């Protein structure tokens, strides 16, 4: 079922296990798609079976170590925000193990660099190392048309494991924020990125922008997901006057 926060249902599709196994759990995945998790009890053990579906409900051909394993008696598992799954394996009298496996992104959007499927790219790119000092413009390109909403975008500098707020922008009161379809452009202060070789990251709160089509809040960007470094060199411009 796909629905808006207002309660409006966009679609309703039936999904069935590939055979007669009992359905135990259906989990949405952070990077798109769904995990159909079934558990079949055999004495003190559980056969743990994982099937992945993409956003179109098509069964993935992903070859996973979790296709069929023996979990502990409780069949404990969890899906993390970085799209990995943890499963508690069968225990012995002297040991216990946890299996960790990365799950593939199953969304129609390929970019997952920002921990948000709806963020396609940014300027500055994440992990960029040569940001010119005193840069005064950034932009974010989404995978859907957006409009401004009411939340903050914060720019931090990392100094000795401490985070120093350099500037924040509220989307409701921003006079220098420009939206054009899927792109939002923001002007920043010239002094925000003024430390040579400085390490920065930008954090965007949920609801900084919203879907232009559905008027729904869009998820933000967590800290350290959009990070970069300024250049260690100053750019000096010289003017040469020529007389005739």
Residue 109 in domain? no
Residue 136 in domain? yes
Residues 123 and 156 in one domain: yes
Q: Which DSSP category does 22 fall into?
A: P
**Of 233, 10, 241, nearest to 131 (Cα)?**
233
Q: Give the pLDDT score at 243.
A: 43
Q: Please say if the pLDDT value at position 185 is more than 60.
A: yes
Total number of domains constituting the chain: 2
**Of 153, 165, 137, nearest to 222 (Cα)?**
153
Give the range of the structural domain holding residue 14, as residue numbers without chain letter. 2-102
Q: Please say if the pLDDT value at position 29 is more than 90.
A: no
pLDDT, the chain, mean: 82
Residues 93 and 13 in one domain: yes
Residues 6 or more apart whose CB falls under 8 angstroms from that of 215 comprise: none
pLDDT single digits (tens) 137-148: 999 999 999 999
Query: Which residue is associated with the tokens 């930008």?
Result: 202
Residues 84 and 149 in one domain: no
Share of the chain above pLDDT 70, in %: 77
């Amino acid at each position: 079922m796909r629905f808006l926060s207002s309660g409006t249902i966009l679609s309703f599709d039936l999904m069935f296990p590939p055979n007669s196994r009992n359905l135990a759990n259906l989990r949405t995945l952070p990077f798109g798609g769904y995990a159909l998790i079934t558990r079949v009890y055999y004495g003190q053990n559980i056969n743990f079976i994982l099937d992945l579906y993409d956003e179109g409900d098509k069964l993935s051909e992903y070859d996973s170590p979790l296709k069929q394993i023996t979990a502990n008696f409780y069949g404990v598992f969890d899906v993390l925000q970085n799209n990995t799954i943890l499963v508690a394996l069968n225990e012995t009298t002297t040991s216990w193990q946890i299996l960790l496996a990365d799950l593939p992104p199953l969304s129609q959007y390929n970019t997952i660099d920002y921990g948000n499927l709806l963020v396609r790219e940014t300027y500055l790119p994440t992990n960029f190392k040569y940001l010119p000092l005193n840069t005064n413009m950034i932009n974010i390109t989404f995978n859907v048309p957006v409009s401004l909403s009411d939340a903050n975008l914060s720019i931090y500098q990392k100094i000795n494991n401490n985070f120093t707020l350099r500037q924040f922008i509220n989307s409701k009161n921003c006079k220098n924020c420009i939206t054009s379809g899927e792109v939002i452009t923001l002007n920043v202060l010239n002094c925000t990125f003024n430390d040579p070789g400085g390490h920065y990251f930008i954090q965007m709160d949920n609801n900084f922008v919203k879907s232009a089509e559905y008027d729904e809040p869009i998820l933000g960007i967590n800290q350290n997901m959009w990070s970069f470094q300024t250049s260690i060199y100053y750019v000096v411009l010289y003017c040469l006057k020529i007389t005739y």
